[in-house]
Structure 1
Amino acid sequence: MTIDLSLLETAATKWDEAAKKFEAVQKIYDSKVKSVSTDGSWSGQAYFVARPNMQVTHDQFTAAPKEARAIASILRDAHSQFVELRGKVKSAVADAEKAGMKVSDAGIASYDYSKASATAANAARHDPDLRNVEQSWTRHIEAAVRAVDDADQGVKLALKAAVEDPNPIDGAVNGFNNKAEGDIEKVEGKEAEELATRINSGDKLSDKEMAEFKRLFRDNEYNKAFSQTFLDGIGPKGVIDLNLKFNDRAKGDAEKDFRALQEGVATSLATATKSPSDPFYNKWREGLRKAGARDFDGGTVPLFGYQSFVELMTHGKNYGKQFLTDVGNDIIALEKSDKYGTGRWAMWQGAGLAPHKGIATDPLDSLLGIMSQQPNVATSFLDPGADGKNDHLKYLLKDRDWPTTATPSSISVHTSDLPFNRVGFGAALEAAATGDVPGADHVLGYHTEAESRVMHDTITILDDGRKGTHIPDNLRTNLGRMLVDYTPETHEILTGTGPYMDKDGVWHDGTGGKDSHMSVPKESLTRIMRGVADDGKAFGEMFEAERFYAAGTLSQTDFANPNERAAAIEGASHAFGFYDGISSDIARDKKNDAVSFANHAQTAEFVITGGMQAAASALKGQPIGFISDAVYRILYAGAYDWKEDQIAQANAAAAQETEYHFTTGQKQVNHLVSGWAQANGHGVDTGLSRHLVGSGQERYDSARTEALIYLD
């Protein structure tokens, strides 16, 4: 920690000076000595013996400056790295001390009782978590120290490589290196390439070599020079082969090591492909196209390159937007262009037909899952665009033949979707439409034009005139969360008033950004909501979101204005009428499903983040603040356990032979209205409260009937 690192810069300067001196001597040698062998004045036996030796000497004088400058570059790079990393070690120690620790010379953190008050010291002695806290700080310091050691090993490797004789049989014993590399990371990239090539050839690395392989990736986690050198050397085919080897060898005690290597290679891949303008990028992409379509198994059951490659990608993160887009485009192009189509991804499905554990069955679906963690990428990939030219969404929702599996029986062969079909796509779809990673807390409203287009077109493409029961199971949860996120739109669409009444498409009401909205025909929305409702939990979350939105519309309405008051109540009644129409349709289709549906709805957990506002209210054109005291006063004053009532009604429906209508929604409206009245100073038993409760019944009844007509 106290070493004078400036000596590295001093040494680098000396090596630069040495390079200049070598060049000066070379000029003298070439003009005074070597020239004798080239000016035609010398001939005979001595000439023929001396000339080759003169050429060797000339080559050594040429190589010497190259080696000297490479060493100088390595030393300067080392100085820069060590200064930065030593600073991080000091910072880690300072952070630990600031947190009340003392740090030993060995880097061990322990609570510093000498600097603590008597009360704090006594509390620390009785804190069962103190040991974990101390160990956490020790690991933090260890990581900083290890980074210094990793860099030191890299410098050592580069210096050793720089002074190696590149051609032991050229006549110069321990000659200078005319191929010396002055970039530490490029040297390490070459070393990683050599170790990877050995694994691909079937070699088993020693413990020391495995440790070095992991160090190389750990030390160069986000270094482009290292990553591109390594990947360019091994090539796409080598990477795919390497991942197959990693998966095959990741067993028992070795699993942790090989998973670490997978993460390292995947991180290098993300780092190397960040800049599409790099010459490396297009060359590597072209190689990946060829390797991705190639069969890497060679047996009776093919395994294609993209399957291994995308599985490798799942071990990394933060890929470049263009790279993810290009890989997706190339996989789709492959699916559309050859005889296999999407069937190539299912060729080794079935008992005993998966020779490589953990490999992605459907690489496009797996890639979409990766995109879902970078919502801006998912949105860009699935957005049809203002001109409608991007057909990815339509292809995935409607046109693609998703991989299937065949189950033979004594009579025939039954073909069905793979059980995990569309899991990645569903996640990407949710991210693309909401702008958030799947499962994130909801910020109702606030979408970009591209996000709104994805939502709009998802509904219109999926709506084929049926009630939505054809929607794939693995999309329902994601679609439900998408509809929750668009509750301001769905409420206004179902209500059929305001600016949403006559619109079908996407628009924004400001200058762009997160102020876009979408509208679809209410019959389309109803059918898709019905399809999603086969997942009772998803329906429950939509219902909960509607409760918040309805309470928000009430809280923003002038209670003293009879016309506004009536419009708000009728709007909520109309929206909930559609929800009950959907519940009733489930009971009408199959009564026992209504019970399962209601039980799952009870598990719904709806979380919205505070401090945000939703889309403009159709009532006043003003933003609705969802998380406000007014909203909670209405919800709590009008408390109603709709989930229990939904289950009770579902059980009643299952016991009846005739069609059964759910009335949960209207009861919810009545309780919200009662809570609203109470929040405005009118008790439950006042004349106005009694008058308002049930005042939206007619709108509710007509909406429920309308929904059932759409679902007939």
Structure 2
Amino acid sequence: MTIDLSLLETAATKWDEAAKQFEAVRKIYDSKVKSVGLDGTWNGVSLLVARPNMQVTDEQFTAAPKEARAIASILRDAHTQFVDLRGKVKSAVADAVKAGMKVSEAGIASYDYAKASASDANAARHDPDLHSTEQSWTRYIEAAVRAVDDADQGVKLALKAAVQDPNVLDPAGSGFNGKAEGDIEKVEAKEAEDLATRINSGDKLSDKEMAEFQRLFRDNEHNKVFSQTFLAGLGPKGTIDLNLKFNDLAKGDDKKDFRALQEGVATSLATATQSPSDPFYKKWREDLRKAGAKDFDGGTVPLYGYQSFVELMTHGKNYGKQFLTDVGNDIITLEKSDGQGTGRWDSWVGNGLAPHKNIATDPLDTLLGIMSQQPDVATSFLDPGADGKNDHLQYLLKDRHWPTTASPNYIGVSHMDLPGTRMGFGAALEAAATGNVPGSDHTLGYHTEAESRVMHDTIKILDDGRKGTDVHYNLRSNLGHMLVDYTPETHEILSGTGPYMDKDGVWHDGTGGKDAHMSVPKESLTRIMRGVAEDGKAFGEMFEAEKFYSAGTLSQTNFSDPNERAAAIEGASHVFGFYDGINSDIVRDDKDHAVARANHIQTAEFVVTGGMQAAASALKGQPTGFITDAAYRVLYAAAYDWKEDQIAQANAAAAQKTEYHFTTGQKQVNHMVAGWAQENGYDKETGLSRHLVGSGQERYDSARSEALIYLD
């Protein structure tokens, strides 16, 4: 921590001076010695003996300044790295001290009772998590110190390589290195490439070499020079081979080490491909197209390069938008060139056949799952565009031959869905339409034009005029989340009033920012909701979101205005009529599973967090559905457990021999209306409250009937 790092700069200057001195001596040698052997005045046997030695000397004088300048470059690079890394160690220690720790000379963090107040010290003594906190700070400091050591090892490696005699036949090993590399990262990349090549050749690395391999990636995490040099040396084919080796070797006690190496290679891949304008990028992509289509197995069950390559990508993150897009485009282009139904990615099982382990059976679906963690990429990839020229959404929702599990049998080959098929696509679709990583807390609504277009076109493409049965079971949950996120839109569409009426498209409300909205015909939305609602949990989440939105809409409506009051109640009744119509249709088709589905509905959650305060503006100048304290009070006063009623009605439906209609939605509206009246000073037993409860029944009945018509 106290070493004078400026000495490295001083040493670098001396080496630059040495390079100049070598060049000066070379000039003297050329003019005073070498010229004598070349000007024709010296002849005979002695010249024949002298010339080879003169050639060696000339080569050494040429190599010496190159080696000297390489060493100078390495020392300057080392100075820059060490100054930065030492600062990070000091910063880590300062952070720990600020958090109430004291740090020993060995870097061990422990609570500093001496500097703490009496109350804080007493609280710390009784804190069951204190030891864990201390360990966390110690690890934080250890990581900063380890980064210094990793860099130090890199400098050592580069210096050793710079002074290495390139003439392996020189017994003295004392010649200058005319090919000395002054870039530490390039030297480390070459070392990593050599180790990778050995693994690809079947060599077993020693424990020391494995540790060094991991250090190389750790030390150069996010370094473009290292990453591009390493990957250019291996090429896509070598990289795919390496990942296959990693998967084969990741067993038992070695599993952790090889998984760490996979993460290192994947991180290098993400780093190397950030800039599409780099010369590296174009060649890498061209070579990847060839390697991706290549069969790396050559046996009965093919193993294509893209399958291993995309599996490698799952060990990394934060890939460049263009790289993810290009890989996706190239896979789709390959699939289309095969022709539909060829089943390039099918997984073959049975009759002695077995799928390859630890690979992405469907590389496109896996890639889409990676995209889902970067919503802007998912949106860009799936957005049809204002001109409708991007067909990815159409291809994935309707046209693609999704890989299957293929099993040969005595009558031919049977095909079944791959386990987890479309899971990556579903996650990407959700991210693309909502603009958020699936599963993350976020504000409902507020979408860009591209996000709204993905949502709109998804509904339109999936709607085939039937009940929505073409909504794949592995897409229902994600589509349900999407519909939840678009609750402001679905509410206005189903209520059949306001600016959403008779609209089919995407538009902006003029408020700025994420002010885009989508609208589709009620019949299309109803059929897709019906397909999604086969998943009880998804239906429950949609119902919960609508409950909050309707309560918010009621709470912001002028209760004193009879017309506004009636419109709000009728709007909510109409929407919940559609929900009950959908629910009734599902149970009518499959009464045997009505109770099981209702139990799944019970697992649905819609948690309003600090990041979800606003449900979103329906349209500028129109009612908004803010989730406020007033909305909570309406729901709290309602005190209606609709999930329990769902189970009760499901049991009743299962026992009915005739058609059974759910009425949960209207009950929910009636309870909310009673709570809304109470919020405005009217007891549930007052005449006005009684009059308002059930006032939306007619709109509810017509909506439920309308939904069933759309679903016939």
TM-score bracket, shorter-length normalisation: over 0.9
Q: CA–CA distance in 1 between the matches of 2:126 and 2:499?
A: 63
Q: Are the structure 2 counterparts of residues 402 and 309 from structure 1 closer, same or farther at C-alpha, using a change threshold of 3 Å?
A: same
Is contact 2:18-2:65 (8 Å) kept?
yes
Question: What TM-score do the two structures reach when normalised by structure 2?
Answer: 0.97
CA distance in 1, matches of 2:625, 2:490: 17
Residues 342 and 402, structure 1, Cα contact 8 Å, conserved in 2: no
Cα deviations by residue, 1:90-146 (Å, 9 ceiling, x for unpaired): 111222222222222111122222223344333333333222222111111111111
Q: Measured at CA, do residues 339 and 380 of structure 1 come closer, stay the same or move farther in structure 2, by a change above 3 Å?
A: closer
Distance 1:183 1:418 in 2: 47
Which residue is 1:72 aligned to? 72
The answer on 1:613 being equivalent to 2:605 is: no
Task: Give the 3 Å change call, closer, same or farther, for CA 675–352 of structure 1 in structure 2.
Answer: farther
Instruction: Verify the 8 A CA contact 2:347 2:361 in the aligned structure 1.
Output: no
Aligned to 2:178: 178
**Cα shift readout 1:207-261 (whole Å, capped 9, x = no counterpart):** 0000000000011111001111110001111110111111111111000000000
> Which AA in structure 2 matches 1:212?
E
**1:266 match:** 266
State the 1:471 CA deviation.
1.1
State the AA in 2 paired with 1:440.
Answer: S
CA distance in 2, matches of 1:465, 1:340: 25
1:375-454 equivalences under 5 Å are: 375-407=375-407, 413-454=413-454
1:687 Cα shift? 1.3
Distance 1:351 1:672, change over 3 A: farther
User: SS in structure 1 opposite 2:345?
Assistant: helix
Equivalent residues in 2 for 1:616-695 (5 A)? 616-617=617-618, 621-622=621-622, 624=624, 626-695=626-695
Q: Distance in 1 between matches of 2:693 and 2:408?
A: 60
Indicate how the Cα distance of structure 1 residues 597 and 362 shifts in structure 2: closer, same or farther if over 3 A, else same.
same
Please say if residues 168 and 174 of structure 1, whose CA atoms lie closer than 8 Å, have aligned partners that are also in contact.
Answer: no
Q: Which amino acid aligns with 2:68?
A: A
Kindly indicate whether residue 532 of structure 2 is the aligned counterpart of residue 532 of structure 1.
yes
Contact 1:302 1:348 in 2 (8 A): no
**Alignment length (residue pairs):** 711
Confirm or deny that 1:25 pairs with 2:21. Answer: no
Matched position secondary structure for 1:466 = coil
AA at the equivalent of 1:112 = D
Shift of 1:626: 2.2
Shift of 1:562: 1.0
The alignment yields a C-alpha RMSD, in angstroms, of 1.8
Q: Name the counterpart of 2:485.
A: 485
Equivalent residues in 2 for 1:550-589, closer than 5 Å: 550-589=550-589
CA drift of 1:439 comes to 1.5
- Secondary structure at the aligned position of 2:414 is classed as strand
Q: Which residue pairs with 1:461 in the alignment?
A: 461
What is the alpha-carbon distance in structure 1 between the residues aligned to residue 623 and residue 152 of structure 2? 58
| Inter-partner Cα distance in structure 2 for 1:508 and 1:68 | 64
Q: Distance in 2 between matches of 1:579 and 1:136?
A: 49
Is contact 2:380-2:450 (8 Å) kept?
A: yes
Segments of 5+ residues of structure 1 without an aligned counterpart are none
C-alpha displacement at 1:673, in angstroms?
0.9
**1:603 match:** 603
1:518 alignment partner, SS class = strand
- 2: CA distance between counterparts of 1:504 and 1:272? 43
In the alignment, structure 1 residue 501 sits paired with structure 2 residue 501: yes
Point out the more displaced range, 116-125 or 536-545.
Answer: 116-125
TM-score by length of 1: 0.97
Q: Are the equivalent residues in 1 in contact too, given 2:553–2:625 (CA < 8 A)?
A: no
- Equivalent residue for 1:284? 284
Which secondary structure does the structure 1 equivalent of 2:474 belong to? helix
State the Cα deviation string for residues 359-380 of structure 1 (Å, max 9, x = none): 1100000000000000000000
| Identity of matched residues, % | 84
Which secondary structure state, in structure 1, belongs to the residue aligned with residue 507 of structure 2? strand
Q: Distance in 2 between matches of 1:452 and 1:596?
A: 34
**SS of 1:678 mapped into structure 2:** helix
- Cα distance between partner residues in 1 of 2:453 and 2:340: 32
Q: For residues 460-503 of structure 1, give each alpha carbon's deviation from its aligned partner in whole angstroms, at most 9, with x where no partner exists.
A: 00001111112111000000000000000101111111111021
Counterpart in the other structure of 2:166 = 166
Q: Distance in 1 between the 2:411 and 2:52 partners?
A: 83
Q: Is the 8 A contact 2:572 2:669 kept in 1?
A: yes
Q: Which residue of 1 aligns with 2:54?
A: 54
8 A Cα contact 1:614 1:623, kept in partner: no
**Letter of the 1:242 counterpart:** L
Alignment match, 1:346: 346
Q: Which residue of 2 aligns with 1:323?
A: 323
Alpha-carbon distance in 2 for matches of 1:416, 1:77: 57
Which residue of the partner structure matches residue 90 of structure 2? 90
Please name the residue that 1:124 is paired with. 124
Structure 2 CA distance, aligned partners of 1:633 and 1:280?
Answer: 60
SS at match of 2:657: coil
The SS at the match of 1:473 is: coil
In 2, Cα distance between equivalents of 1:628 and 1:511: 21
Shift of 1:507: 0.9
The one-letter code sitting in structure 2 at the alignment partner of 1:396 is L
Does the aligned pair in 1 maintain the 2:462–2:471 contact within 8 Å? yes
Paired residues of 2:427 and 2:478 also in contact (CA < 8 A): yes
Cα separation, 2, equivalents of 1:23 and 1:447: 65
- Report the counterpart of residue 107 of structure 1 in structure 2: 107
- Structure 2: unaligned runs, 5 residues or longer: none
Structure 2 equivalent of residue 299 of structure 1:
299
- Range with bigger deviation, 86-95 or 507-516: 507-516
Q: 8 Å contact 2:348–2:407 — kept in the other structure?
A: no
User: Aligned equivalents of 2:170 and 2:26: distance in 1?
Assistant: 19
Aligned-pair distance for 1:441?
Answer: 2.4
The range that moved more, 264-273 or 160-169, is 160-169
**Contact 2:444 2:485 survives alignment (8 Å):** yes
8 Å Cα contact 1:342-1:403 kept in structure 2: no
Tell me, in whole angstroms, the C-alpha distance in 2 between the residues paired with 1:167 and 1:711. Answer: 82
Instruction: Report the secondary structure of 1:225's partner residue.
Output: helix
Return the offset for 1:410: 6.0
Q: In 1, are the aligned partners of 2:349 and 2:407 still within 8 Å (CA)?
A: no
Alpha-carbon spacing, 1:175–1:326, altered in 2? closer, same or farther (3 Å): same
1:350/1:140 Cα in 2 relative to 1: closer, same or farther (>3 Å)? farther
Alpha-carbon distance in structure 1 between the residues aligned to 2:314 and 2:513: 31
CA contact (8 A) 1:199 1:245 kept: yes
> How much has 1:339 moved relative to structure 2?
5.9
